[in-house]
Amino acid sequence: MSLITNELVKSSMVITLNRPEKRNALSPEMITELTVTVRKAIDDQAVKSIIITGSEKAFCAGADLDYLNNLRKYKAADNERDSKMLAELFLTIYNSPKPTISAVNGPAIAGGCGLAIVCDFAVAHTQLATFGFTEVRIGFLPAIVSVFLVKRIGEYQARKLLITGEIIHAANAHAIHLVDELSETPLRRAVEIGFLLASNSCESIKSTKDLIRVCGNLSADEAIPYLSRMNAVARFSKDFKSGLEKFLNKKEK
């Protein structure tokens, strides 16, 4: 049985973590397969957005227990390689030129929570979704996810979640902007968002995501020259010329 399933729904590639008997826990094999699947979706011109969800009752329960048990045997080089594997997955999703959406259908814990919040949009089940970074409970460090968490909710909210290891419900997660929307049918809502985004320019979405990533590390004085260049370059794009012509023709009718 494949650890990952994928299906094109309208214009969205729905990628489902498929280990329900393990609450869709992450293993090295699943991380590798998920990274490959996301990259294939990025390269597929038929795919306009990427949705990640979990099978059955969980989104992702974090690291697999067998995998955690094996960590005790790892040497320094093994741990370094293993950490880079998870970082590569998160960066692949975060840097995706296409919109990414998590449909959180149940618990999203530790690395699973990181997987949910690294996406551009996070839609959580109103009743069933829970979130938590529980690494501190076993003396571990939520290192890789921390940079994405701080970007999403800010330093002080991130500090509270990471230091306490508290598990919070969907309403609380929404209140601190850990997730963007609540829904009784998160996957259906994620597909709706993907469908709405499909009408936008793919090139414009990619460039907008690029400039947001760059601006996040710059002061306003540093950002404006860069953004001015981006603005000027965008005016020569095929998508802009076509979109502007359609807009003006519509206004003239």
- Tell me which residues are annotated as active site: 135
- Beta strands (DSSP E) in the chain are 4-9, 12-17, 49-54, 100-104, 107-109, 121-125, 130-132, 167-169, 181-183
Buried b / exposed e across 222-231, counting CB within 10 Å, b at 16+? ebeeeeeebe
Say which residues have a Cβ less than 8 Å from residue 88's Cβ, sequence separation at least 6: 35
Say which residues have a Cβ less than 8 Å from residue 215's Cβ, sequence separation at least 6: 223, 226, 227
- CA–CA dist 37, 34 (Å, integer): 5
